[in-house]
Structure 1
Amino acid sequence: MTNLHVTDDGPRDAPPLLLVHGSASSVRSWDALLPLLTEHHRVVRVDLLGHGSSAKPADAGYGVPEQAHRAGAELDRLGIGHAVVAGHSTGGLVATALAEERPGLVTGLVLVNTGPAMDTYIGPQTAFGPRQWAALTDEQVRDAMSSAFRPGYVAPATLVADVRGMTFEGFTAAQRGAVEFLMRQPVPERLTALGKPVLVLFGEDDRRWRPSTSLAAYRAVPGARVVPLAGVGHSPILEDPAATAGALLAFTGSPTLNRQSSASPRT
């Protein structure tokens, strides 16, 4: 029995698309995109360990490669031999790590406001202790999350609940794992080595990762399609789901990606 919560929507014979949520979030962060994507794809979403409705063991590995390995195992369990993998924020790190571990499984990557390296981080340096974490109110969570959106956007209640549903140990371990992954090697270097079709979507009003520097870093990846999103902050999948889905579907329908999918072995 798996200890991860997984959803599987859309036609079973449609091209598979795996969606990976960001830090302290869940599959619910993709809800607004789901009806737009399932017209064309079999859409699999996974709550990473420690998040959402998945198990939250205190003694598990929450590193990015470990989370990626579990996500790949879920695709295996579903009998999916290849898929485009899209990740929002830290989910983009997991998507990249999965492509590194399983290059035959991942036919293309979509990174949505994924920080390319730690030197582009401009978000707040918030720190909580276990007692503070347990006592957080909804308003305090919303305040801490405010940099994840454009000014004036109010975090949905579901996202607040996702944060409060995490354990302090799981939250801090996941944050630490993301930093360690970026410190070992920047994402653009990893993408260049992979040589996979890549789409990068980045909100121009991101308040966690410096947009101009991040966009420039991803444009240096050979063949990457980089799309800045005007008037959008760190979370395009919530702030502008229609624009996000439109760009994603244009990418998954591209001839280059379809050739990659046809050439990928079903393992």
Structure 2
Amino acid sequence: MRFRFPSKQLLTATIAAALLSATASAADNIYGEQLEGFTYPYPLQHFTFTSQQQSLSMGYMDVKPTQQANGQTVVLMHGKNFCGATWDDTIKALSQQGYRVIAPDQIGFCTSTKPASYQYSFQQLAHNTHQLLAQLGIEKAVIIGHSTGGMLATRYALMYPQQTQKLVLVNPIGLEDWKAKGAPWRSVDQWYQRELKLDAAGIKKYEQQTYYSGQWKPEYDKWVDMLAGLNRGPGHQKVAWNSALIYDMIFTQPVWYEFKDLTVPTTLMIGTADTTAIGSDIASPQVKAQLGHYNVLGKQVAKMIPGARLIEFPGMGHAPQMEEPQKFNQTLIGDLAR
């Protein structure tokens, strides 16, 4: 009997179906309220402290240098739809260069407590992080913040300039005041209803468009799985509620007006194809057209921050450290060595 190789079209369709099946299978994973069941790249520890009359637990990774220690510590602050774990490649690269790396999960996120009630502010989260570093005996550190973590890192540097060796902002949101530009306000209840509807398909669609400039690689799937599994787990209502409170914090507490007040050495690392802007999804076409132009915003804010250095990644999206980790990490290490 003569064997026939499958047609190119059939083979492509089969491979696509297999990949889709694998993604769907991963999206079926369910994780606990504090991301129990999801594996972190390095040992996870917890810092327990009291805040706003309640006991809270903050997950974090404390990664020692794998090469000769250079005596410096880097603190990595994650974004809104990210976790400490999403810094995986950067942690490895920094530890290989002799840095001690601390990657916390902020309260309300990932492996940390999801309080039933909490007055979120960037000042409070910065204070929480400062307490963690004090507990670890760290007096001064390089503070690196991505996305919402960029807003938090900015606030940290404003509050604790003597403890901030250097500030690095990676595609930070808050390079503009969306509310002042006309983006509509949402109530916390509206944010909550929006967050309850999150699913793997929607998460992947948004990430592909915004984080990775329309591209997709298999290594991105685990981050969709992480968020989807957390949002469909047994604590999904508390996860959604805290997410809603955090979005309200982001929208109503701009740092844009205070970039001029930074006194620490600062580097902006910007993927120029990024279009992230809170509220743009419900803004009028006229307002939406004015929001999220990182190719312009990066340059504008670099001029606002005294002595700031701007590094651009042309054509890259909201998460250059995940989109092209090798290129990003080489660039970051070079900047830290300056």
Report TM bin, short chain.
0.7 to 0.9
- When residues 32 and 118 of structure 1 are mapped into structure 2, their CA distance, relative to the original with a 3 A threshold, is same
Among 195, 199, 204, the alignment partner of 1:137 is 199
Which amino acid is the alignment partner of residue 211 of structure 1? Y
Matched, 1:26 2:57: no
Among 210, 216, 225, the alignment partner of 1:153 is 216
Structure with bigger gyration radius: 2
- When residues 42 and 97 of structure 1 are mapped into structure 2, their CA distance, relative to the original with a 3 A threshold, is same
In structure 1, C-alpha distance between the alignment counterparts of 2:151 and 2:126, rounded to whole Å = 9
- When residues 132 and 84 of structure 1 are mapped into structure 2, their CA distance, relative to the original with a 3 A threshold, is closer
1:117 aligned residue: 176
Distance apart, 1:206 and its partner CA: 0.7
Distance apart, 1:131 and its partner CA: 5.7
- Given the two structures, how large is their TM-score scaled by the length of structure 2? 0.67
In structure 1, C-alpha distance between the alignment counterparts of 2:308 and 2:323, rounded to whole Å = 23
Among 52, 56, 61, the alignment partner of 1:7 is 61
Kindly tell me the number of residue pairs found equivalent between the two proteins: 250
1:176 aligned residue: 248
In structure 2, C-alpha distance between the alignment counterparts of 1:228 and 1:87, rounded to whole Å = 16
Which amino acid is the alignment partner of residue 221 of structure 2? P
Which amino acid is the alignment partner of residue 195 of structure 1? T
Distance apart, 1:73 and its partner CA: 1.0
2:271 aligned residue: 203
- When residues 17 and 174 of structure 1 are mapped into structure 2, their CA distance, relative to the original with a 3 A threshold, is same
Q: 2:96 is paired with a residue of what secondary structure?
A: coil
Q: 2:144 is paired with a residue of what secondary structure?
A: strand
CA contact (8 A) 2:140 2:163 kept: yes
Q: Which runs of 4+ in 1 moved over 4 A?
A: 119-123, 125-132
CA contact (8 A) 1:148 1:235 kept: yes
- Which runs of 5 or more residues in structure 2 are unaligned? 1-47, 50-56, 232-238, 277-291
CA contact (8 A) 2:203 2:224 kept: no
2:328 aligned residue: 244
Which protein, 1 or 2, shows the higher relative CO under an 8 Å CA cutoff with sep ≥ 6? 1
Distance apart, 1:39 and its partner CA: 1.7
- 52-61 or 161-170, which deviates more: 161-170
1:257 aligned residue: none
1:212 aligned residue: 295
Which amino acid is the alignment partner of residue 67 of structure 1? L
2:115 aligned residue: 57
CA contact (8 A) 2:199 2:228 kept: no
* Aligned alpha-carbon RMSD (Å): 2.7
Distance apart, 1:173 and its partner CA: 1.1
Distance apart, 1:35 and its partner CA: 1.3
Distance apart, 1:165 and its partner CA: 2.2
1:265 aligned residue: none
- Which runs of 5 or more residues in structure 1 are unaligned? 255-267
Distance apart, 1:117 and its partner CA: 1.3
In structure 2, C-alpha distance between the alignment counterparts of 1:81 and 1:226, rounded to whole Å = 27
CA contact (8 A) 1:122 1:210 kept: no
Matched, 1:84 2:154: no
Q: 2:270 is paired with a residue of what secondary structure?
A: strand
Q: Deviations over 1:121-174 (max 9, x none)?
A: 999x99966566445431122224342331123643334423652511111111
In structure 2, C-alpha distance between the alignment counterparts of 1:164 and 1:171, rounded to whole Å = 15
Q: 2:125 is paired with a residue of what secondary structure?
A: helix
Which amino acid is the alignment partner of residue 212 of structure 2? F
CA contact (8 A) 1:64 1:94 kept: yes
Distance apart, 1:66 and its partner CA: 1.1
Distance apart, 1:48 and its partner CA: 0.7
In structure 2, C-alpha distance between the alignment counterparts of 1:147 and 1:137, rounded to whole Å = 17
Matched, 1:193 2:253: no
